[in-house]
Amino acid sequence: MKYNLQNSFLVSLSITLFACNCNKPMPYMFTSGNWVNHFNMNGMPRNNASSWVIGDTGYLVAGYNSTNDSCLTDLWQFDPVKNTWTQKAYFPGAARQSGVAFAIGANGYYATGTNSKMQKNFQDCWQYNPSANSWTRMADLPDINVAGTGARYDAVAFAIGNYGYIGTGFNGTYLNDFWQFDPIANKWAALSSSPIIKRSGAVAFVYVNEAYICTGINNGAELKDFWRYNPSTDKWTQLRDIANTSADNYDDDYTDLVRDHAVALVEPNSSVWKAYLICGQNGSATAKTWEYSFTDDLWERKESYERAARQGAVSWSFLNLKRGFVGTGKTAASSVSDYDEWFPEDDVNVND
């Protein structure tokens, strides 16, 4: 079923203008965009897995399976064109969840994480070579002070150019340190002290060689600040909050943006590149989807994720293909293995 959004908007607009208080912003009329279900990936259901993209190929590794109460070590390769999954070499490190991943060139990298049964956090970093289908251990994430303090989970990670980056997370205390990884030298270097609030369960995405970091939690408080990092200048820039904290009208509708354990996509909408914040939790799991405009630093509500609300999902942004997918995660009941593709330009269709 397709909704005629244009006609419904014009009718609603005429009614609203007749009775509106023009000193207040108009309420949001409708959502747009569409989620298409691709059913289930191969392998066990899971949440808090990690993912990366190399070219037109996606990867998913490890995570936690609630059915058998265990952390995982399996690795899966995703072909978005053929819509197929292929199992690859098992991750050779300890089974874990809530690690981070990024890709540099032709290789993927997987680091940090936790295993609640072992009561152990990790700071090891591994390189996956798709051509050889093999893993190589790289230099551990450095300690902050005493031995073991570099270990963490629920951090954020991203790659820009020839370097990878890891920061924030939790290891008994909330963190806001950031580290740059050079895969050629196999070395980590500390970045300048970051100004962002310490947090875990945040989300990071990259656009035009800059990283954007928002959401997350600190001591039970969902965080509202939003930051952009430029690695060429090692400079942090604070953007507008993701909550209604200003005296202006632009953020009056920002009622459910704040959350933790969300995911993000970057793909074009009508040929303009946007970012999308999807799912996560704030008291309970959410399916809310929001679109971010890089040009004016504003957010707009979009069609919610059309399957069960969830947290701890993974996402894949295929920039060459201009396609984005979200999958796995934990609903209110259990870990899941379904995944969906996001079509920001399409009308809502609840039947696909």
pLDDT digits (tens, 9 = 90+) for 55-82: 999 999 999 999 999 999 999 999 999 9
pLDDT of 31 over the 80 cut = no
pLDDT classification of 15: cutoffs 50, 70, 90: very low
State residue 13's pLDDT score.
34
From edge to edge, which strands make up the β-sheet containing 134-138? 100-104, 107-111, 125-129, 134-138
pLDDT digits (tens, 9 = 90+) for 280-322: 999 999 999 999 999 999 999 999 999 999 999 999 999 999 9
| Pairwise CA distance, residues 139 & 137, whole Å | 7
Three-state SS for the chain is CCCCHHHHHHHHHHHHHHHCCCCCCCCCCCCCCEEEEEEECCCCCEECCEEEEECCEEEEEEEEECCCCEEEEEEEEEECCCCEEEEECCCCCCCEECCEEEEECCEEEEECCEECCCCEEECCEEEEECCCCEEEEECCCCCCCCCCCCCEECCEEEEECCEEEEEEEECCCEEEEEEEEECCCCEEEECCCCCCCCEECCEEEEECCEEEEECCEECCEECCCEEEEECCCCEEEECCCCCCCCCCCCCCCCCCCCCECCEEEEEEECCEEEEEEECCEECEEECCEEEEECCCCEEEEECCCCCCCEECCEEEEECCCCEEEEEEEECCCCEEEEEEEEECCCCCCCCC
Considering only the top CATH level, what class is 31-343?
Answer: mainly beta
Residues 251, 243 contacting (CB under 8 angstroms): yes
From edge to edge, which strands make up the β-sheet containing 163-170? 156-160, 163-170, 174-182, 187-190
| Pairwise CA distance, residues 217 & 315, whole Å | 20
- Residue 57 tokens read as 């190929």
Residue in the block written with tokens 């200048």: 233
- Mean pLDDT value of segment 136-165: 95
- List the domain boundaries for the chain: 31-343
- Residue length, the chain? 352
Surface-to-core class of residue 299, CB atoms within 10 Å of its CB (0-12 exposed, 13-18 middle, 19+ buried): buried
Contacts of 11 (CB under 8 A, 6+ apart): none
Residues 201, 261 contacting (CB under 8 angstroms): yes
pLDDT digits (tens, 9 = 90+) for 183-197: 999 999 999 889 999
pLDDT of 350 over the 90 cut = no
pLDDT digits (tens, 9 = 90+) for 230-259: 999 999 999 999 999 999 999 999 999 999
Whole-prediction pTM value? 0.91
State residue 145's pLDDT score.
83
Considering only CA atoms, give the Rg of the chain.
Answer: 20
Residue 134 vs residues 41, 86, 128, 137: alpha-carbon distances, Å: 22, 15, 6, 10
Question: Can you list the pairs that 123-127 forms with residues at least 24 positions away whose Cβ atoms lie under 8 Å?
Answer: 123/148, 123/150, 123/151, 123/152, 124/93, 125/181, 126/91, 126/92, 126/93, 127/183
pLDDT classification of 343: cutoffs 50, 70, 90: very high
